[in-house]
Amino acid sequence: MRAWILAPVLAIFLFSLGAYAQNGGCSSTGQSPYDYSQALCMAMLFYEAQRSGYLPADNRVDWRGDSATGDGSDVGLDLEGGYYDAGDFVKFGFPLAYSVAVLAWGLDEYSGGYRTAGQTAYGRATIKRATDYLLKCHAGSKVLYGQCGDGDIDHEYWGRPEEMTMSRPSYKIDEQNPGADLAAETAAGLAAASIVFQGTDASYANQLLDFAKEMLELADEHQTSYVNSIPAGDFYNSWSGFQDELGWGACWLYKATGEQSYYNQAEGYYNSFNMANDQEVNFYWDDKTAGVYALMTEFGQDSKYNDRFAQFLDSMRTSQRFTNAGLIFINDWGSIRHALGLAFIAIRGADLGINPATNRNFAQTQIDYAVGSQGHSFVVGFGTNPPTHAHHRAASCEDPPAPCSYDDMNKVDPNPHVIYGGLVGGPTDTNDNWQDNRSNWQMTEVGLDYNAVFSSTLAAIITLNY
C-alpha cells in the first residue's frame, strides 16, 4: 500500500485505539443530560472485569486472564466460573443470586432500555455466566454450593486473581446443613433468569426453573439461616432473616410459572411472617421485602398489596434522611447502592400506577446523583471527574511482571486499569462527604449487587425517557 494511503488508515486505527482506551469500547450516544446508554454499556463491561474462571474468546477486558480455574477441586467438583463479588476474590452465592434476580428483573421489564443502549446480548450474557455457574453449584438433590473462598484468608492477599495461591475452600447447604435465605434467594434468581431466557432458549429456561423449584422446597422445609452452614456471617450475614427471601422466591416462581400454588405460598409467607409491618425502608441484597410488595402488587390479586406498597413508597420519600444534595441516605456502607435499589423499586411503583410522576422524579434524582449531578460521577470511567482509585485489587495492579501487594492499595496514583462501569460506594454521611480513596472501601469499593440495581435503574430510565 502506498505511504500516502497507509498514513490516514494508520491514523484512524490509532485514533480508534485511543477512543477505546478512553471509554472501554462504550461509545457516546449523545443522550443528555447524561449518557445513560453509555453508562449501561459500561455497567455490563464491569461484570466482565469481575469474571472468575476461564475467560471466553470475546473477553473485552485485556488486563484480566483465566483465574481460580480449580474452584471446587477440594470437594471433587468443577465450580469454575461465575463472578468475584467485589474488589476481592471470594464467590459469595447470596449476593450473586440477588444480583441475578435484579438484573433479570430489569432486563425483562425494561428490555427497551437495553435495546436502545445496544446491550441486550451483553445483558443476557452477564446473567448466563452467573446461572451457568449456579448450575454447577447444584451438586445433587437439594444440594447447593454457596461459596468458594474464605473471606478472611482472601483478605490477607492484595494482588491479581490470576496469581492467587491461597486455599479456596468450597461450602454448601443441603438438608443436613440448610440455609433458607440462600436457597430461596437462589430460587428467585433462577426463576427470574428463566423468564429472560424463555423466548430464546426454552430448554435452558426450564432447566433453571426446575432448579429454582427445588431450591424453594429446600428453603421451605428447613427454615434457618445459611450463615449457620456457610462462614459468610462476617461478610454477608442475613440480618433481615430468611423470611423475606422465602416470600421473594415464591413471588418469582409464580411470575415465572403462573402456578397459583406459588402465589398462595407467597401470600402465606407474607401473612405468617407479618411482612406488612416490616418497618425497614430498603431494598438490597439482604432485605427483599419491598420487592415482595412490588411483585404482589403487580400480580393484582389483592388490593392490600397495592396499599402497602404505596405506604412504603410514601414513607421512603417523606420519612427518610437525605443528603444535602438529595441522595436518600439509608446506610453509610454503599450509600448509592441503597439509593438506587430504592430508585428501581420506585420506578416499579410508578409503572404500577402509584404516584407515577412523584416516584419517577425520585428515581431520576437518584440515578442522576450517581452519574454526575454533583459535578462528578460515582461510576468508574464514566462522565465528569469519575473515580480513579476504586478499591479493587486487580485494577490497582500494574501489568505483570511488576509485583502487586498491599503497597498498591496504599499508593496515591490512580489505578493502572480502569474498571469501566463500576459503581463505587458513595458518601458516608448526609453532608455528601466522599473521597476518591482506594483504602476507604466504604466509599470506593465496587460490587456485583451495586451494579445490579445501577443497571436495572438505568434500563428503566432509558426506557422511559428515550
pLDDT 10s digits, 92-138:
999 999 999 999 999 999 999 999 999 999 999 999 999 999 999 99
- Give the C-alpha separation, 392 to 407, whole Å: 13
Is 60 within a domain? no
Instruction: Let me know if residue 51 belongs to a domain.
Output: no
Residues spanned by the domain of 113: 66-465
pLDDT averaged over the chain? 94
88, 154, 181, 449: which one is catalytic?
88
Q: Compute how many other C-beta atoms are within 10 angstroms of the C-beta atom of residue 118.
A: 14
The conformation of residue 422, written as its DSSP 8-state character, comes to P
Q: Is 58 within a domain?
A: no
More confident residue, 106 or 15: 106
pLDDT at 382 over 60: yes
Is 42 contained in some domain? no
Residue type, 189: G
Q: Which has the closest alpha carbon to 105: 448, 453, 465?
A: 453
Does residue 285 surpass a pLDDT of 60?
Answer: yes
Whether residue 89 lies inside any domain: the answer is yes
Nearest to 457 by CA among 122, 109, 46: 109
Per-residue pLDDT for 280 more than 90? no
CATH number at residue 182: 1.50.10.10
Give the pLDDT confidence score for residue 23 in this predicted structure. 86
Query: Which candidate in 185, 244, 445, 449 is catalytic?
Result: 445
Query: Per-residue pLDDT averaged across 367-384, rounded?
Result: 97
Q: Are 305 and 297 in contact (CB under 8 A)?
A: yes
Q: How far apart are CA 247 and CA 288, in angstroms?
A: 8
In a domain, 449, yes or no: yes
**Is the pLDDT reported for residue 19 higher than 70?**
no
Which is nearest to 237 in space by CA: 340, 92, 115? 92
pLDDT for 26:
96
CA atoms within 13 A on the CB side of 214: 17
Query: Would residue 88 show up in a list of annotated catalytic residues for this protein?
Result: yes
Whether the bond into 416 is cis, omega within 30 of 0: no
Confidence of residue 281 (pLDDT cuts 50, 70, 90): confident
Please give the radius of gyration of the chain, using alpha carbons only, rounded to the nearest integer: 22
Average pLDDT, integer, range 384-412: 97
Q: What's the pLDDT score for residue 278?
A: 86
Percent of the chain clearing pLDDT 70 (strictly above): 95
Answer yes or no: are the C-beta atoms of 185 and 204 closer than 8 Å.
no
The grid coordinates of residue 149 equal: 473462598
138 is catalytic: no
Q: Quick one: average pLDDT of 74-85? A: 98
pLDDT band at 9 (very low <50, low <70, confident <90, very high): very low
The percentage of the chain sitting over the pLDDT mark of 90, rounded to a whole number, equals: 94
Residue closest to 331 by CA, chosen among 207, 212, 251, 450: 450
Give catalytic status of residue 155 as yes or no: no
Quick check: 379 pLDDT over 60? yes
Let me know if 376 is a catalytic residue. Answer: no
- pLDDT band for position 21 (cuts 50, 70, 90): low
In a domain, 28, yes or no: no
User: What average pLDDT does this structure show over 229-253?
Assistant: 97
Q: What pLDDT does 464 receive?
A: 94
Average pLDDT over residues 315-341: 96
Domains of the chain: total: 1
Q: State residue 24's pLDDT score.
A: 87
pLDDT of amino acid 6: 38
pLDDT on residue 463:
97
Name the amino acid, one letter, at 38. Answer: Q
Average of pLDDT values for 32-42? 97
Of the candidates 338, 391, 392, 417, the residue annotated as catalytic is 391
Q: Does pLDDT of 20 surpass 50?
A: no
pLDDT digits (tens, 9 = 90+) for 415-466: 999 999 999 999 999 999 999 999 999 999 999 999 999 999 999 999 999 8
Rounded average pLDDT over 183-207: 98
Question: In the block, which residue shows the cell 435484579?
Answer: 102
Is the pLDDT score of 310 beyond 60? yes
